[in-house]
């Protein structure tokens, strides 16, 4: 009783129209893009609809696309899984670089709590409605969001490491 990708697409387009778009299959997983403001309703529909039944949140993470225009700088990716038909799906949603805000989905999936905190920790994406949006992996005193591309990977406070001994020159780092 496999779940057909076309069926998923039709169901979602019927319910949400243009708010869901760019349906495609990448690396063997069906992918779609969803509008940021309606993300909670879309995921709730996918979770609660009797045929779709994507009831398990496998992963939630952020991506920074520095090349994109400002309105699509950040992306939040939701990986959902339907255990009954063993179907996986990826939902991507793009948000702006100047005001990276997105509604929290902790009301739908309890497991999103720590994953949203992690995404906030590394990308500074604000999940509105999250019960406790504080850093989870990095130290509390940190001021940067380290996986944003504008922050250098190296510890800026280092004093005893000479770049030449680490194979780094201005051109290759």
Q: Report the candidate in 29, 28, 8 with the shortest Cα–Cα distance to residue 20.
A: 8
**The one among 153, 162, 170, 171 contacting other proteins by CB under 8 A:** 153
In the complex, minimum distance from the CB of residue 121 to other proteins, in angstroms, rounded to a whole number: 11
CB of 87 or CB of 119, closer to other proteins: 119
Q: Which 97-126 positions form the footprint of other proteins (CB under 8 A)? A: none
12 close to 45: Cβ distance less than 8 angstroms: yes
Interface size with other proteins, residues (CB under 8 A): 18
Q: Does 139 bind other proteins (CB under 8 A)?
A: yes
Tokens at residue 155, please?
Answer: 């510890």
**The one among 155, 162, 167, 169 contacting other proteins by CB under 8 A:** 155
Q: Report the candidate in 64, 73, 74, 57 with the shortest Cα–Cα distance to residue 115.
A: 57
Region near other proteins per CB under 8 A, out of 5-13, 103-111, 124-132, 141-149: 141-149
Residues whose CB falls within 8 Å of the CB of residue 35, separated by 6 or more in sequence, listed in order: 19, 20, 42, 93
Q: What pairing do the DSSP bridges indicate for beta strands 29-34 and 87-95?
A: parallel
Query: How many Å apart are CA 140 and CA 92, to the nearest integer?
Result: 29
Q: Which 27-46 positions form the footprint of other proteins (CB under 8 A)? A: none
Region near other proteins per CB under 8 A, out of 24-32, 47-55, 72-80, 156-164: 156-164
**The one among 101, 129, 138, 149 contacting other proteins by CB under 8 A:** 138
Bridge partner residues of 56 (DSSP): 81
Tokens at residue 5, please?
Answer: 């990708």
**The one among 157, 169, 171, 172 contacting other proteins by CB under 8 A:** 157
Give residues in contact with other proteins (CB under 8 A). 137-139, 142, 144, 146, 151-161, 166
């Amino acid at each position: 009783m496999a779940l057909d990708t076309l069926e998923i697409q039709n169901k979602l387009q019927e319910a949400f129209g243009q708010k869901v778009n760019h349906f495609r299959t990448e690396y063997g997983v069906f992918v779609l893009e969803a509008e940021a403001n309606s993300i909670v309703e879309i995921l709730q529909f996918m979770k609660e609809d009797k045929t779709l039944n994507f009831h398990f949140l496998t992963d939630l993470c952020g991506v920074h696309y520095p090349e994109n225009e400002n309105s699509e700088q950040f992306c939040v990716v939701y990986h959902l899984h339907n255990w009954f038909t063993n179907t996986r799906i990826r939902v991507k949603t793009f948000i702006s670089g100047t005001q990276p805000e997105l509604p929290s989905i902790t009301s739908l999936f309890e497991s999103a709590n720590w994953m949203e905190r992690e995404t906030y920790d590394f990308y500074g994406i604000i999940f509105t409605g999250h019960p406790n949006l504080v850093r989870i992996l990095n130290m509390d005193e940190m001021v940067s969001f380290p996986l944003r591309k504008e922050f250098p990977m190296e510890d800026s406070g280092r004093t005893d490491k000479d770049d030449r001994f680490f194979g780094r020159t201005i051109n290759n780092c």
